Chains A and B, each alone.
Chain A
Amino acid sequence: MSLSIHSIKSQFPIFTHRPELVYLDNAATSQKPQSVIQAIANFYEKENANVHRGLYELSGNATRRYEEVRKKVSRLIGAPDPKTIAFTKGTTESINIVAQCFLKKNLQKGDNVIVSAMEHHANLIPWQQVCEQTGAALSVIPVDANGELRLENLDSLLNAHTKLAAVTHISNVLGTINSIEDIISIAHKKNIPVLIDAAQSAGHDRINVKNWDVDFLAFSAHKMFGPMGTGVLYCKEEYAEQIDPLNFGGGGIKNVEFGQTEFLNYPHKLEAGTANISGVIGLGCAIDFVAQLDTNQMVAHTKNLSDTFTNKLKSIGKVQIVGNAKNSGSIVSFNLENIHPHDVAGFLANENIAVRAGHHCAQPLLESMGMPATVRASFSIYNTMGDVEKAIEALKAFKKFWL
């Protein structure tokens, strides 16, 4: 299906309510299409019931719809079986589950866990804390001046005591797209499982966990046009049994006695308590929305916007672009000489232009690059060249006003 930006943008009600809005904070959360909003409202208006074990029609339907989304997620990420898909609160919870419910019991002093220097806090702190709890060490794959991972260092970082490597697919600060397949193949030569953080890429770029041979993959619905508070953990079948439940309670169980409990298999053992059913249905609807688009065209469109924005930004002068990776996505981080990023973002906010300023939950990365913060513009499928123009004009006006 060919990509008509006008027709895509018209599916997002926020732009009808706020026609002036230039939304360039997509790496923080995407806007939601009408179909997703409507699916959630419909569920509560017409279909609300709890899933599993209800014998009445509404509960049966809710269960079927909930489980149907597991199949949709499988198709989205190329998973071999829906039973590899667990629903969570989001990327952060998915990663914490792998750290606390899988890795921790196998981790001890002398072991190590590998992350990259470009991880956001969600794919850093869970590993840092599990290392602290067990006495293991955290090793970091360095980033070069262009914002690319120095993978030549990876092989020497991985050793017989490495229990897991966790790397982001796309950096939320630099936009760098990492060579996931290379990282996985290097790690697998030493039988080290790999977790991929797909928060920025799921629903936007191609993901194929089977072809890539990923062991764990985490992402959130809300960055791919779905609702907040819903996410996914993909776990390769060979590790599924080794994951323990995070929460204990109703659901997720096979048999309960006063003295002991027998749990269901993955993924159900991770879904104790009433799930975010409307959220999962919203995620399913977001996947349907993405499925009607052409991924190559989506990627080309946002890449074109971010490249144009970057080039025009450079021509303004006194601009530092942070991250110049050869393979990068729709995220542009920058600084205007000697001006605090908050002042840039504050000025843009007055012009109805939404960007983010700060460390983007990746404080160690920015500190290693010698800057406390950046301004970040991130593009999505509903953004237009007009948005790029408005942002550039506003930045020119700001520079004139300030410098």
Chain B
Amino acid sequence: MYTQVIRTHNDGPFHFKKIENASHVIKAYNPICGDRFEIFVDSNSKKINSIHFHGFGCAISKASTSVLMQSLDGRTFQEAITICYNFLKFINKELSTDELVLQDEFLAFSGVHDFPERYDCATLSWMEMKKFLDQIESR
């Protein structure tokens, strides 16, 4: 479960800081375990210029949020949606390893397939981000 990628992202998460005046702040909170992150999106109408996060959570949720930041930084909303869908499909076992292009770091979370108790940890921020992106795109 605790792969090197997860350990590395947990110890030194990507873009881990609070941003004042971000265009959007997305809250990812799991009341069952108390994990709580805020995701700060700086964007224009089409593109995520930069994305940061801050908060408290276990190594799996923190690392998965860090990978989310790394994956979406500088992406268009359209690209971001595809990436989110791919990650969630991979965690849900609806996408084979071969179909995962360019996102090697997703593989680090394949341990969730054997530990369904940690499903929420791996998907918490991704689900909230997907909800946010779906809303943006449906406008």
Task: Write the residues of chain A forming the contact surface with B, with a CB cutoff of 8 angstroms.
Answer: 340-343, 346-347, 349-350, 357-359, 363, 372-373, 401
Within 8 Å by CB of A359, from B34, B59, B60, B118, lies: B34
What are 29 A-B residue pairs whose CB atoms fall within 8 Å in the complex? A340-B56, A340-B57, A340-B58, A341-B58, A342-B33, A342-B35, A342-B59, A343-B2, A343-B58, A343-B59, A343-B60, A346-B1, A346-B2, A346-B58, A346-B117, A346-B118, A347-B2, A349-B115, A349-B117, A357-B33, A358-B32, A358-B33, A358-B34, A359-B33, A359-B34, A372-B34, A372-B36, A372-B56, A401-B2
**Closest beta carbon of chain B to A388's beta carbon, Å:** 24
Question: Judging by beta carbons under 8 Å apart, are B121 and A342 in contact?
Answer: yes
Q: Which of B1, B32, B58, B117 has the most CB of A within 10 A?
A: B58
Question: Judging by beta carbons under 8 Å apart, are A340 and B59 in contact?
Answer: yes
Size band of the interface chain B makes with A: 10 to 19
CB closest residue in chain B, given A341: B58
Hey, what's the 0/1 contact readout for B29-66 against A, CB within 8 Å counting as 1? 00011111000000000000000000011111010000
CB closest residue in chain A, given B56: A372
Task: Write the residues of chain B forming the contact surface with A, with a CB cutoff of 8 angstroms.
Answer: 1-2, 32-36, 56-60, 62, 115, 117-118, 121
CB closest residue in chain A, given B118: A346
CB closest residue in chain B, given A350: B1
**Closest beta carbon of chain A to B79's beta carbon, Å:** 31
CB closest residue in chain B, given A398: B2
B residues near A341, Cβ cutoff 8 Å = 58
Q: Which of B33, B60, B118 has the most CB of A within 10 A?
A: B33
**Closest beta carbon of chain A to B62's beta carbon, Å:** 8
A residues near B34, Cβ cutoff 8 Å = 358-359, 363, 372-373
